[in-house]
Amino acid sequence: MLNQQIRLLRQARKMSQVELAKELNVTKQSVSNWENDNIQPSVEMLEKIANVFSVSIDYLLGNNPRECIDVSDLPAEVIAHIRLLIEDLRKTKKD
């Protein structure tokens, strides 16, 4: 599950394994090994991965299927706009 989450999050952000590796200060091989479920990242690395993708460690591990987006540093008007966009996307998905 962790390997799939890392791959999906990386691909959703259109990042290559090399780009993610640079962001985390690890080798491309490390990212490849995580995504292929050959090795597991350390607890410290899990925290870094979660921070890069702005998700919780629980989300990475599949314990919380809801993805959260940190909007704490955004003004209230922007947060309201994001909420409206999400509602519109949900409506479009149902149609």
Span 27-72, pLDDT tens digits: 999 999 999 999 999 999 999 999 998 888 988 998 876 767 778 8
| Pair 10, 36: CB distance under 8 Å | no
pLDDT confidence bin for 95, thresholds 50/70/90: low
Between the alpha carbon of residue 7 and those of residues 10, 28, 32, 33, 81, the distances in Å are: 5, 13, 9, 11, 29
Q: Exposed, middle or buried by CB within 10 Å (0-12, 13-18, 19+), for 91? A: exposed
pLDDT of residue 2: 94
Q: How far apart are CA 52 and CA 23, in angstroms?
A: 8
Q: CB 80: neighbour CB atoms within 10 A?
A: 11
* The CATH homologous superfamily of the domain defined by 2-61: lambda repressor-like DNA-binding domains (1.10.260.40)
User: pTM above 0.75?
Assistant: no
Structure tokens at 81: 């706009």
